[in-house]
Structures are given as C-alpha cells and as structure tokens.
Amino acid sequence: FTTAAMGDWGYFEEKIPLPADIDADRLVLQLYSVSMKDGSKMFVVNIPLVLE
C-alpha cells in the first residue's frame, strides 16, 4: 500500500559527466521512453541546462 498516486512527481539526482573541453555554455537534456513497438522515441521532454 502506498499513499502516492499517478501524477505524483518522483525526485532524483544524477551526476552527468561531460568532457572537460566541451565548447558550450547551454545544453539540452532530452528524456524519453522507447516504444516497444518500433523503437522510436515517445513522450520526449527537453530540459534546457546552463553550465556554470
């Protein structure tokens, strides 16, 4: 039994290694699910990131 339901956000933290010589100050993190039917991307979410 749980008190959370659909629509309740799960929070997480993950370190993403980047090359030291990257020549950008803005990146986009793209998250998606893979279709079991044909392997295409579904439910794509793009999150803009700023490197500091």
Would you state the pLDDT for residue 6?
Answer: 66
Would you state the pLDDT for residue 5?
Answer: 63
Q: Nearest CA to 42 among 33, 52, 50, 51?
A: 33
The pLDDT of residue 1 is above 60? no
- The pLDDT tens digits of the residues spanning 6-41 come to 666 778 788 888 888 888 888 999 999 999 999 999
Would you state the pLDDT for residue 2?
Answer: 60
